[in-house]
Amino acid sequence: MKKILAIHTGGTISMSQNDQGEIVPNAQNPIAHPTQVLDDQVQVITDDLFNLPSPHMTPVQMLTIQQRIAQAIAEGLDGVVVTHGTDTLEETAYFLDLTVPDTIPVVVTGAMRSSNEIGADGLHNFRSAIQVAAADASRGKGVLVVMNDEIHTARYVTKTHTTNVATFKTPAFGPIGLVTKGQPTYFQELIQQTVCDLDHVVDHVYLLKAFAGMDGTFFDALNNDQTAGLVVEGLGAGNLPPQTLPAVQRLLDRQIPIVLVSRCYNGVATDIYDYPGGGIELRKMGLILCQGLNGQKARIKLLVGLSAGLSATALRQFMRTAVS
């Protein structure tokens, strides 16, 4: 019999709708002991680690989840399911993907509807996640996100709709598998990457989004001794308004690593434009062009790399692509 650890952290999947139609946290997690979703092939061990709305999640708590998973691996468990609020689910899942050894299946899931709403999806998603975590075919695929009968990689999945149950998508590549008749079926393989061993997480790693007419105001606000790193969602293929450049240079002069991604949800940042603020100039200035990650994922990766103590050269290599 497979032993699966269920780590509950809160979110809509553990909430209920009150008489006023508001979604609120429960004192007791309604899916913490869902015996009706299990069969005699799986034993689920429950750990109510947190009871937090998704916006309350921080990298410190992500590290606590990672440490609990490491304990499960040491105990010889067969897989882990993490239930999580959807607003920051992709960030926690990617943090785990970067820091958990690919030893046993780790699956993150959540819900778009609370436990007592009509059409509640939490119990179904939880069951599907357990089935994926218990399957031998799920080994060696990195951290997975299972929602709405689709299996996505933590590296590329993103929330695309505020309320739709089919919100989690992988824009460039699609899901790597599906859950059908209680079993995962895989159609793609994930290219593996380096896993960083962390015992702490750094603070003051920021994310800015470029916009038409942007100047150096926000960059200068981060020009201080506390700022550890910055990710910028640039325009198009990875460009910035020229008015930002003096302030960007001041950050670089402080040896603050700046990573550039595109604010487009598809495609990659690349240095193809040669004009003031174009990707070619930004690369020459010292910005790290990261290909394949959105802004929030790139921030998590930069935070992990800095927390792991990577040198400037190693950090640049680590951040250049989604795969490293």
Tell me which residue has tokens 């990710």.
231
How big is the chain by its Cα radius of gyration, in Å? 20
d(CA 307, CA 295): 18
Catalytic residue among 12, 83, 99, 227: 12
Reading the block at residue 263, the tokens are: 């604010």
**CA–CA–CA angle 91, 233, 109 (5° rounding):** 20
| Separation of alpha carbons 25 and 86, rounded Å | 14
The 8-class DSSP code of residue 48 comes to E
Active-site annotation holds for 160: no
Distances (CA, A) of 247 to 21, 174, 205, 223, 279: 47, 38, 17, 8, 16
Tell me the C-alpha distance between 169 and 55, whole Å: 20
Q: Which residues contact 105 (CB under 8 A, 6 or more apart)?
A: 78, 79, 80, 132, 133, 134, 135, 138, 139, 141, 144
CB distance 7 to 92 below 8 Å: no
Give the β-pairing of 177-180 and 150-153.
Answer: antiparallel
Q: How far is CA 233 from the centre of its chain?
A: 16
Could you list the active site residues?
12
